[in-house]
Homo-oligomer: A and B are copies of this chain.
Amino acid sequence: MFKELLENVRRKKPLIHAITNYVTVNDCANLLLACGASPIMADEIEEAEEIASLCSGLCVNIGTLNQNTIPSMFAAGKKANALGRPAVLDPVGAGASNLRTQTARRLLEEVKFTVIRGNISEIKALATGTGTTRGVDADVADTVTDETLDGAVSFAKKLSEKTGAIIAITGPIDIAADHSRAYCVRNGHPMMSKVTGTGCQLSALTAAYVAANPDRPLEASAAALCAMGLCGEIAFARMEEKDGNASYRNYLIDAVCRLRGEALDKGAKYEIR
């Protein structure tokens, strides 16, 4: 079922506008190329709307946000809305600083996002306005496990209802939910948390999937979650004795580059609640 969604990305080659942090931007660009999309990074206010107009999708990532780039996030988001193009929000570090939490919340008020993708602490901070995000990582107390899954699913569905966005929460179990249905995804590998920006990469990937499948944002978000997680598993299986997180980072993007629809359908591990 996800096969077609993946193949639409490869066939349509959506151009994705990313306003994203400078820590992981290169990996996001190569990830977009790996999945079959094309990236353009542009965060200057004088060109933000024009670049957004060119593109099939937008990814706004607030890591390393600053006073120059924040207005561009709003301008690009509003332009994408006006043109009916999907937009993804990655609230990196929401809950870690007031600037991040409030910027993410203001973005939600003024821009309609198709998908919001973050870890559970970031998404909670977005929902409540306060948080205990540990830098850019989830607070351990928040982690979604089998014990807490029901509550997390319910939280995600309610937040989706409130915001109108698909809520994609990543962690040991991932969730992609609209107001009534939640994909609970059990792909992925703990090694992914040893590489900076695997979350940022997933947000970019999600933007590509929803841009290529604009009428099916929930399925596209779930497919992106499964694809990224599955590639995390494939990458881990490839590791050799001397490999560490740097080689793993390459293997992960390589796996996205190699992934085909049949393999995604075969490897995707999810249930719908």
Chain A contacts to B: CB under 8 angstroms: 15, 21-27, 29-30, 33-34, 38-44, 46-47, 50-51, 54-55, 63-68, 93, 96-100, 134-137, 194-197, 238, 242-247, 249-258
Report yes or no: B253 in contact with A98, Cβ–Cβ below 8 A.
Answer: no
Report yes or no: B55 in contact with A194, Cβ–Cβ below 8 A.
Answer: no
Given contacts A30-B246, A39-B135, A43-B64, 20 further A-B contacts (CB under 8 A): A22-B41, A23-B25, A26-B26, A26-B197, A30-B249, A33-B196, A39-B196, A41-B64, A42-B97, A47-B100, A54-B97, A55-B135, A194-B257, A242-B258, A244-B255, A245-B253, A247-B250, A247-B251, A247-B254, A250-B250
A-B CB proximity, top 5 nearest: A244-B257, A244-B254, A246-B253, A40-B135, A29-B196
Q: Tell me, in angstroms, the Cα distance from A22 to B20 when the chains sit together.
A: 11
Tally of this chain's copies = 3
Q: Can you list 21 A-B contacts (CB < 8 A)?
A: A24-B29, A26-B26, A26-B197, A30-B196, A30-B246, A33-B194, A33-B196, A38-B135, A38-B136, A38-B137, A40-B93, A40-B135, A40-B136, A41-B63, A47-B98, A47-B100, A55-B135, A242-B251, A244-B256, A246-B257, A247-B251
Indicate the member of A43, A67, A93, A196 with the most B CB atoms within 10 Å.
A196
Give the nearest-CB partner of A22 in chain B. Answer: B22
Q: Tell me, in angstroms, the Cα distance from A38 to B196 when the chains sit together.
A: 9
Question: Whole-angstrom distance from the CB of A37 to the nearest CB of chain B?
Answer: 10
Give the nearest-CB partner of A55 in chain B. Answer: B135
Give the nearest-CB partner of A96 in chain B. Answer: B54
Indicate the member of A21, A25, A41, A64 with the most B CB atoms within 10 Å.
A41
Q: Which residues of B contact A197 (CB under 8 A)?
A: 26, 29
Q: Which residues of B contact A243 (CB under 8 A)?
A: 254
Q: Tell me, in angstroms, the Cα distance from A27 to B251 when the chains sit together.
A: 16
Report yes or no: B249 in contact with A246, Cβ–Cβ below 8 A.
Answer: yes
- Given contacts A244-B257, A253-B244, whether A26 and B23 have CB atoms under 8 Å apart is yes
Report yes or no: B26 in contact with A41, Cβ–Cβ below 8 A.
Answer: no
- Given contacts A47-B97, A257-B244, whether A33 and B250 have CB atoms under 8 Å apart is no
Question: Whole-angstrom distance from the CB of A106 to the nearest CB of chain B?
Answer: 13
Q: Which residues of B contact A253 (CB under 8 A)?
A: 244-246
Question: Whole-angstrom distance from the CB of A96 to the nearest CB of chain B?
Answer: 6
Q: Which residues of B contact A135 (CB under 8 A)?
A: 15, 38-40, 51, 54-55
Q: Which residues of B contact A54 (CB under 8 A)?
A: 96-97, 134-135
Indicate the member of A99, A196, A246, A253 with the most B CB atoms within 10 Å.
A246
